[in-house]
Structure 1
Amino acid sequence: MVEKTKILIVDDDENIAELISLYLTKECYDTKMVHSGEDAINVFDLYNPDLILLDLMLPGIDGYQVCREIRTSSSVPIIMLSAKGEVFDKVLGLELGADDYLIKPFDTKELVARVKAVLRRFQNQGQDTKPKANQKYVSYPGLEINLVNYSVIVDGSHVDMPPKEMELLYFLAASPNQVFTREQLLDQIWGYDYIGDTRTVDVHIKRLREKIKDHKEWKLGTVWGIGYKFEVS
Structure 2
Amino acid sequence: MPGPTPARPSPAGDTPPVPAADVLVVEDEPSLRTVLARTLGFAGHRVRSAGGVAEARAAVEDAVPDLVVLDVMLPDGSGLDLCAHLRTHHQSVAVVFLTARDDVDDRLTGFALGGDDYLTKPFSVAELVARVAAVLRRSLPSAPVSLGGAHPDALVVGDLSLSEGAHEVTRGGDHLELSPTEFRLLALLALNAGRVLSKQQILEQVWGYDFGGDGGVVEKFVSQLRRKVDDGRVPLLHTVRGFGYVLREPR
TM > 0.5 between the two? yes
Deviation track 1:71-96 (CA, whole Å, cap 9, x = no partner) reads 11112011101111111111000000
1:37-52 correspondence runs (5 A): 37-52=53-68
| Cα contact 1:125–1:150 (8 A) shared by 2 | no
Equivalent position of 1:174 in the other structure: 191
| Cα contact 1:52–1:79 (8 A) shared by 2 | yes
The list of structure 1 runs, each at least 4 consecutive aligned residues, that deviate by more than 3 angstroms after superposition, is none
Q: Which runs of 5+ in 1 are unaligned?
A: 127-132
| Cα contact 2:26–2:33 (8 A) shared by 1 | yes
Mean Cα deviation higher: 6-15 or 112-121: 112-121
Equivalent position of 2:30 in the other structure: 14
Counterpart CA distance in 1 for 2:64 and 2:181 is 21
Percentage of pairs with the same residue: 34
| Cα contact 1:152–1:159 (8 A) shared by 2 | yes
| Cα contact 2:196–2:240 (8 A) shared by 1 | yes
Mean Cα deviation higher: 11-20 or 43-52: 43-52
Counterpart CA distance in 2 for 1:179 and 1:227 is 6
Equivalent position of 2:178 in the other structure: 161
Matched, 1:84 2:101: yes
| Cα contact 2:66–2:140 (8 A) shared by 1 | no
Counterpart CA distance in 1 for 2:212 and 2:84 is 23
Matched, 1:212 2:198: no
Higher relative contact order (CA 8 A, sep 6+): 2
Mean Cα deviation higher: 24-33 or 55-64: 24-33
Q: TM-score, normalised by structure 1?
A: 0.89
Q: TM-score, normalised by structure 2?
A: 0.83
Equivalent position of 1:5 in the other structure: 21
Q: CA deviation at 1:11?
A: 0.6
Equivalent position of 1:35 in the other structure: 51
Counterpart CA distance in 2 for 1:91 and 1:33 is 26
SS at structure 1 position matched to 2:152 = coil
Equivalent position of 1:151 in the other structure: 168
Matched, 1:93 2:118: no
Equivalent position of 2:83 in the other structure: 67
Flag the 1:29–1:86 CA change in 2: closer, same or farther, 3 A. same
Counterpart CA distance in 2 for 1:230 and 1:25 is 40
| Cα contact 2:87–2:179 (8 A) shared by 1 | no
1:115 to 121, 129, 132: 132
Counterpart CA distance in 2 for 1:27 and 1:149 is 26
Q: CA deviation at 1:124?
A: 1.4
| Cα contact 1:135–1:148 (8 A) shared by 2 | no
